[in-house]
């Protein structure tokens, strides 16, 4: 009987400790919370470039240059002057500098200052408009709060957006950051950013291009993964003009159901896929999965422009650069 009581007491202690971990939020108690209805307005932001920006219209004469990249939280990035692989990464830096659009995921910015500029001295993005959409965390009071690490999706452009949309996933990731308070605490939601940008066609008529940047969930069902994709597809189907749709779609499924779902949806709205191979390595490189994808519509892919930076050591994802032409 005493042994049973001791076992019960020990189990109670363990259960209480686990419960305390589960109910302790991973963010500061002083963090302001918001209702789900006002999530986009309160968490997402747009910041003007630090340099001069006189361009009212997207310049299309030399093509529309795009860089797609999951930065993996800048884990391996230092100051450019301290980059041990400077010569190797020089071309990538030039591509970013000359790009019209940067579709970034796992981007870091300041959360405790009035300005949200990036926490980075590596990327030449001072002359870009920054649209940021934090990976929101839902607290136990069912309110969304900003990820206190200043981590999220970024859509950067040389031209100011004319219309913009944001969307967070309706479910959080199952895993999140494995031992960083998100497996045994509030888990992060992924999101999508979209905006239209004005340009002049060859006849001088003003039109708009739609750009959508998506970072999808990890370790959820295909049905749940399709939530942000379907939102993006609806937006694309209602847009009359060129479209660029890209991101880290986390098509991690070993049986391929999620990539088939993605491709079938993009095909229905007339999107074409940019052909490139940039697998992300898991389990010490034994498993390689293509997670990043780029699609387009109403544009022509410039022949020979697709460049995968597969030798860079800056992230576990490979940056991809591509140029489109207005037909």
CA gap 218, 230 in Å, rounded? 17
Question: For residue 271, is pLDDT > 80?
Answer: yes
Q: Domain spans of the chain? A: 29-325
Write out pLDDT tens, residues 228-239: 999 999 999 999
Q: What is the mean pLDDT of residues 161-181?
A: 74
3-class SS at 150?
A: coil
Question: Do 216 and 247 form a contact (C-beta atoms < 8 A)?
Answer: yes
CA 110 to chain centre: 17
Give the per-residue pLDDT at 231: 96
Write out pLDDT tens, residues 35-55: 454 554 567 788 888 776 667
Query: What secondary structure letter does DSSP report for 133?
Result: E
Please state whether beta strands 144-145 and 151-157 pair in parallel, antiparallel, or not at all (unpaired): unpaired
CATH number for the segment(s) 29-325:
3.60.10.10
CA gap 203, 194 in Å, rounded? 26
User: For the chain, how far is it from start to end, CA to CA, in angstroms?
Assistant: 83
Query: And the tokens for 300?
Result: 């022509």
Give the H or E element holding residue 175.
none
Write out pLDDT tens, residues 188-225: 789 999 999 999 988 889 999 999 999 998 866 777 88
User: Which segment of 102-106, 113-117, 226-230 scores lowest on mean pLDDT?
Assistant: 113-117
Give the per-residue pLDDT at 279: 87
Alpha-carbon radius of gyration of the chain: 21
Closest Cα to residue 324, out of 280, 288, 282, 272?
272
User: Which segment of 88-102, 131-145, 163-177, 296-310 scores lowest on mean pLDDT?
Assistant: 131-145
- Strand-pairing partners, residue 137, are 145, 188
Question: For residue 64, is pLDDT > 60?
Answer: yes
- Strand-pairing partners, residue 322, are 66
């Amino acid at each position: 009987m005493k042994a049973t009581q001791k076992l019960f007491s020990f189990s109670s202690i363990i259960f209480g400790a686990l419960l305390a971990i589960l109910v302790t939020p991973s963010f500061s108690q002083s963090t302001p919370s918001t209702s789900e209805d006002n999530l986009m307005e309160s968490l997402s932001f747009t910041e003007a470039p630090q340099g001069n920006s006189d361009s009212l219209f997207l310049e299309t004469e030399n093509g529309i240059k795009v860089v797609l990249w999951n930065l993996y939280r800048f884990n391996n990035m230092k100051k450019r002057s301290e980059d041990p692989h400077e010569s190797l990464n020089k071309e990538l830096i030039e591509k970013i500098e000359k790009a019209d659009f940067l579709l970034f995921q796992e981007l870091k910015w300041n959360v405790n200052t009035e300005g949200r500029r990036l926490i980075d001295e590596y990327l030449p993005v001072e002359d870009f408009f920054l649209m940021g959409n934090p990976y929101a965390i839902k607290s136990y009071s069912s309110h969304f709060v900003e990820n206190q690490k200043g981590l999220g999706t970024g859509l950067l452009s040389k031209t100011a957006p004319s219309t913009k949309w944001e969307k967070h996933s309706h479910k959080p990731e199952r895993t999140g950051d494995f031992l960083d308070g998100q497996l045994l605490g509030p888990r992060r939601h992924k999101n999508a950013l979209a905006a239209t940008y004005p340009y002049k066609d060859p006849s001088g008529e003003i039109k708009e291009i739609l750009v959508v940047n998506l970072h999808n969930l990890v370790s959820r069902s295909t049905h749940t993964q399709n939530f942000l994709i379907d939102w993006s597809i609806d937006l694309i189907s209602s847009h009359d003009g060129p479209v660029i749709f890209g991101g880290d779609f986390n098509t991690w499924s070993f049986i391929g159901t999620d990539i088939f779902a993605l491709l079938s949806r993009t095909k229905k709205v007339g999107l074409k896929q940019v052909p490139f191979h940039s697998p992300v390595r898991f389990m010490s490189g034994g498993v390689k999965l293509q997670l990043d994808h780029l699609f387009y519509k109403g544009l022509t892919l410039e022949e020979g422009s697709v460049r995968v930076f597969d030798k860079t050591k800056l992230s576990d994802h490979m940056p991809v650069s591509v140029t489109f032409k207005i037909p």
